Structure 1
Amino acid sequence: MLINKNAQMGEKRPQHELIARCGVKRMEQVQVFAPRGHAETSAAASQHRAEKITVSVDADLLQCCVCSGPLTTPLFQCTKGHISCSECCTDGGMNDECECLMCREPETATRCRAMERVLAGLSMPCAFRQHGCAETIAYASKQLHEASCGYAPCHCPIPGCVGYAGNARSSLSDHVMVDHHDVHHTRVRPGCLTPLRMRAFEQARLLLLGHGHRLAEFLLVVGRDVPSGRSLSLVGLMGEEFEDCKYRIEVVGKNGVLALSGQATRVQRLARPYQAGAFLFVPDAVWESFQLDTPVFIHLK
């Protein structure tokens, strides 16, 4: 650990860089506020503001010793140096004292207010800066920001797709139109039962609902996430006037009709892997019983 101590009392302090390293580990760049010299008088100190310095910190130092998650206040530290976050504190933490869950011994941990002050002064760039986000956020707000960041990588409901790099202007609809040229399109008239004639290998079908230029886009997803069959689900992509659109999916087999009715949900972006709220289960015996195409019908209104 190297600290520059060449600054003289009362003189302006240069910017310092402190580097903490333990082996070869991932490092996070943060900013903290450093106070001025200790011997300054109160009158002189009031004329100075805390200056920013850039610090490189091992990311492991900002993790809870118990859950290995990011430290969140209040923080507690036992006599052996274990620091735990608020999620890993016992009920006694409300009295600034709790049991150390890392030691698993009757050892008392107390509030680590010094580390709480360090966390309060930390700021760091967004984890999605390589995708275009230029925000620098407080450490305490990092998880909240990244959960709603417009540049976070986005997921795609089409099976086998790894998703796409998100940005403030991209949408799931744009991704499907640009990156999935092999997805067939079918125009659907509102209130009419439309045959789709889906091939056995199809993983999705783009449905265009409406007349002329007033179109709403829906994606019929054919998933293989169920054993011995397929799951058919519907995702709304665009068209606010069709936000409350109701649908009915039918698959006609030799022994009867499989059907699912529901209300389509419009999706702008998928921040998490796609999970259908409702789907129609079609056994492989039904889906693969047709040589050319499977008789799938869609009704939207």
Structure 2
Amino acid sequence: MAEGILQCLYDHKVAEKVTYIIVERNPHQQKRQMELLNNYPQIKWARGLSDIRTFSGVVVSNELVDAFPVHLVQFHKGEFYEVFVDLSEKGEFIEVLKPLSDELKEYTERYKIPRIEGYRTEINLQIRGFLSEVSKYLQEGFLLTIDYGYPYWAYYAEERTQGTLLCYHRHRSNDNPYINIGQQDITAHVNFTFMDDAGRKYGFKTIGFTPQGTFLTSLGIDQIMTELLQKDPAFINEIQKIKGLLWGMGESHQVLLQYKGPLKEVPLPRGFQLRNRAYNLQRSMDG
């Protein structure tokens, strides 16, 4: 993604005016990125936003928020409990239900998590910390979040009785976080209504929210694919793959744009002009 953004900046002859900073804490990943992107001299690396200090610009995250640790909660005998993990006498993982913290209890009420026996889902409170940190260093600009997720009313639908927690090991998914310890990624979808709410607390205003497929279509990806075909019909197979990926992931991935700054009105970027669902984030919240 970084290479694509940088190449686009070069194509539009604005790259010289931009400093592209990659926040990467892993030194091995930093080295790999440097090797892949060594043709772009304006890139810098940082271990955290605190290394950058204050700035104006755009913060882009792609499948970052879904990787944050989450709290697992379950409705049991008339109450919500948090699911903790312990070891049995045999040394096996066992789950233990404990009362919710006040913060988690407030969340279950705010986002109307169904009070159905056995209903289990996730709560990502680290979103607040993430937005707080971005707001601390971003003086003026945008936060663009691309990730799996839903508005609260779709995330916590009654039929979604086991939440969205998934694990990935060697390109295969499973729903058991107690296997492949340390060798699999654990993810949970993003409650974008919570992103909207928490963002307001830290000075952000939601500008746009739309599925990734719609976002790319609004940016003209169909025209780009048509032009590629006209130049070389051999691209047909690649384009079919792109279309399959685009619409296969286009509805599961969402794009959220938030703004922080003095402007009361912000022009709607092209990516959200085809369909902007920002109003859907707070649907029926007070109903």
Bucket of the pairwise TM-score, normalised by the shorter protein: under 0.3
Q: TM-score, normalised by structure 2?
A: 0.23
Structure with more of its chain in strand, by fraction: 1
Higher RCO, 1 or 2 (CA under 8 Å, sep at least 6)?
Answer: 2
Q: TM-score, normalised by structure 1?
A: 0.22
- Answer with 1 or 2: which has the greater Rg: 1
